[in-house]
Each structure stands twice: as C-alpha cells, then as structure tokens.
C-alpha cells in the first residue's frame, strides 16, 4: 500500500505514514501439566493440579504460584462451575471468543479453588451475575488449545463434587501449540525522515546538519546522536558518493528479485558525514572495491534509488573517506 501523508505543521509540509503489519506465528512447546490440560480439553475433560497444601488450580500450572514448588498431581474437575467475577463486552474485538456481545468471566470449576478466564454467551448483562452457574460449551473442532472451550453458557443444575485423581494420560497427547498473532500499526517516521523521503521521491538526497558538531546526517533522524540536539538545517548531498566498505551477498533473500551474488555497500555521499547503504550494480561483483565512485540509478517512478553504479571517475583516496569507514 502506498504511504499516505498529511500536513500537521508548516515546518514539515508532508508527514508520511504507512501501514505496518507485524505477524508472528509462535510455536510453543508444552510442559507435562499444560500438555495434559490442553489434551484433556480436546477430549472434553477438564484437569487441574493439586498444590502441596491441597488447593486445586484450574487452569493448572507447573509450579505453585505461592511456593514455586514443582507440582504434578493432576486431578479431574467438573465441566460446570461458578462465575467469580464478570464484565460485559458490548463490542467484541478481533480474535475474541465470540463475535456477538458477551461477558468475560472468571469461572471456578466445580472441584477447583482458582478460576479460569473465558467468555460467557448470555443474552445480555442482566442475565449475568457473580455466583451464577455455568457450564462449558465445547468447540466443534478441538485441537488441544484453550479455544477448545468455545465459551461458557448458563447452566441450572448441580455440578460434580470434589476433584478426583487423574493420571493425565491420553492417546496422542498435544505437545505444542502454535499461537498466531497479528497486530496492525500505522508507522510514522516523523519530521526529519518524512522530509528525507519526500526529497528522495524527487530524486534529491537531503541530509540534516547538527548545529553543534556541524556533521551532516544522511538519512537524518531528527537528532545528532553525538550531541543529543535536534538537527534542523537541510543540506542536499550527493548525488555521487564513494564506497567506504561492502560485502558480497551470496544467499538469495525471500521475495527479492535480484540474482546473487551481488554487492551491498556503505556509500558516503559527497557532503555527507554518515554513510548510507545500498546495492551496487552495473559492475561485476568481484570488481567492487573501497573508494569506488558511484551514483544512484532511478527506475520508473521509484521513490528511492534502485541501486548505485560506478561513475567512471578515478577511485577516491582512502584519506578522503577513512573517517566514514
């Protein structure tokens, strides 16, 4: 998606922003207690764990939250329970258990001493109260996850009595879960980088000068990292520059349409006091060298240079760029 812009102040006529999606499908392994609990849910059995002082924790954990003692004494509790507190969620958010208004509830299962968080499907807040009886509504498809409980539903009736011992053994136990997560952000690079990107879209490279040490930073980030003061004065640099150092890339990156090997280099643009990095093209990879003079190559309506290529000038003296290596 292309970046959007807006105009918050005169000093930065165009501040950029763009969607930023962070997705991470974590794969997590389960310990013996969590494995038994989540496998149990798949089999419509609710397990807890007994602590050294005889309390039954549901959902079960592997270490006593009070004493840190390792606990492995599994028990089976009822699939019915009592609401210990609740809140009414009139506007469910993405990924939550129900997509119609529901109550969040902490439920103490019959036979347990602690409570589990989940959703309660109820017609409205007037139908929910602390102390009400509920039972599990199982998901149609169960995989060994907390979402195997689709939600709770109101239940008028008795539950089972005390927790009973359980060996935690099931065929084909679940040993891990995948926990996909996606978060949507709007990224804003701020004033200095917006100015830089706006100029770059016009094929100009504009850095910013530190008022204290006079260094010109490219790309600018709004502050001089040495002096800790704002950079304000814009300075056009380049377009030509010098390769200060480089590496040869031999492994093809995913979704990147560039043949390997290719060269990625640090380039000190003329007038800049900080090297930026870019790909070098238009020259065999094994002929790229420190001091090589290069210039940007623009493609189509690209907002930044596609790569840099040799200018044909003589190489720069090492002394002219050694501070930037």
Partner 1 sequence: MSATPGPAAERREVAVVAFAQSDHARDTAEVSEAELLLPVLQDALGQAGLRAGEIDFTCSGSSDYLAGRAFSFTMALDSVGAWPPIAESHVETDGAWALYEAWVKLLTGTAETALVYAYGKSSSGAVRDVLTRQLDPYYLAPLWPDSVSLAALQAQALIDAGDTDEAALAGIAARARADAAANPHARHSGPVPPGEYVVRPLRTADCPPVTDGAAAVVLAAGDTARRLCDRPAWIRGMDHRVEAHALGVRDLTDSPSTRLAAERAGAFEQPVDSAELHAPFTAQEVVLRKALRLDDRVRINPSGGALAANPMMATGLIRIGEAAQAVRRGASRRALAHATSGPCLQQNLVAVLEGEPR
**Interacting residues toward partner 1 by CB under 8 A:** 6, 8-9, 12, 15, 17, 20, 22, 26, 28, 30, 34, 38, 57-59, 61, 65-66, 84-90, 93-97, 104, 106, 108, 114-119, 125, 130, 145-147, 177, 179, 181, 183-193, 221-230
CB closer to partner 1 out of 2 and 94: 94
CB closer to partner 1 out of 136 and 294: 136
Question: Closest separation between CB of residue 315 and partner 1, Å?
Answer: 29
CB closer to partner 1 out of 164 and 178: 178
- State how far the Cα of 58 lies from the Cα of 51, in Å rounded to an integer: 11
What's the burial of 270, exposed, middle or buried (CB within 10 Å: 0-12/13-18/19+)? middle
What's the burial of 259, exposed, middle or buried (CB within 10 Å: 0-12/13-18/19+)? exposed
Question: Closest separation between CB of residue 88 and partner 1, Å?
Answer: 4
CB closer to partner 1 out of 15 and 269: 15
Question: Closest separation between CB of residue 90 and partner 1, Å?
Answer: 6
Q: Quick check: helix, strand or coil at residue 40?
A: helix
Is 233 in contact with 209 (CB distance < 8 Å)? yes
Contacts of 287 (CB under 8 A, 6+ apart): none
CA distances from 281 to 7, 203, 234 (A): 37, 18, 29
- State how far the Cα of 116 lies from the Cα of 96, in Å rounded to an integer: 15
Question: Closest separation between CB of residue 63 and partner 1, Å?
Answer: 10
Question: Closest separation between CB of residue 156 and partner 1, Å?
Answer: 21
CB closer to partner 1 out of 108 and 279: 108
């Amino acid at each position: 998606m292309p970046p959007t812009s807006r105009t918050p102040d005169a000093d930065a006529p165009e501040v950029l922003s763009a969607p930023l999606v962070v997705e991470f499908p974590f794969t997590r392994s389960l310990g013996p207690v969590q494995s038994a609990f989540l496998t149990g849910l798949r089999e419509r059995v609710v397990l807890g764990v007994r602590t050294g002082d005889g309390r039954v924790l549901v959902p079960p954990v592997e270490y006593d939250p009070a004493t840190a003692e390792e606990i492995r004494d599994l028990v089976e509790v009822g699939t019915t329970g009592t609401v210990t507190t609740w809140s009414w969620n009139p506007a469910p958010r993405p990924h939550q258990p129900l997509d119609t208004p529901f109550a969040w509830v902490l439920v103490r299962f019959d036979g347990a001493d602690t409570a589990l968080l989940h959703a309660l499907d109820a017609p409205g807040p007037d139908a929910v109260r602390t102390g009400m009886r509920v039972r599990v509504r199982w998901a149609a498809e169960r995989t060994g996850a907390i979402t195997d409980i689709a939600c709770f539903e109101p239940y008028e009736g008795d539950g089972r009595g005390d927790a009973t011992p359980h060996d935690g053994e099931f065929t084909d136990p679940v040993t891990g879960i995948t926990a996909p997560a996606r978060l949507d952000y709007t990224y804003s690079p701020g004033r200095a980088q917006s100015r830089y990107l706006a100029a770059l879209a016009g094929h100009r490279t504009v850095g910013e000068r530190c008022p204290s040490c006079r260094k010109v930073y490219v790309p600018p980030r709004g502050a001089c990292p040495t002096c800790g003061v704002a950079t304000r004065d814009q300075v056009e640099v380049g377009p030509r520059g010098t390769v200060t150092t480089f590496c040869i890339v031999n492994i093809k990156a995913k979704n990147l349409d560039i043949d390997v090997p290719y060269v990625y280099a640090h380039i000190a643009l003329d007038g800049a006091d900080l090297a930026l990095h870019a790909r070098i093209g238009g020259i065999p990879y094994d002929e790229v060298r420190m001091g090589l003079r290069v210039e940007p190559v623009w493609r189509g309506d690209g907002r930044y240079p596609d790569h840099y290529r040799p200018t044909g000038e003589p190489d720069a003296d090492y002394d002219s760029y050694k501070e930037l290596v």
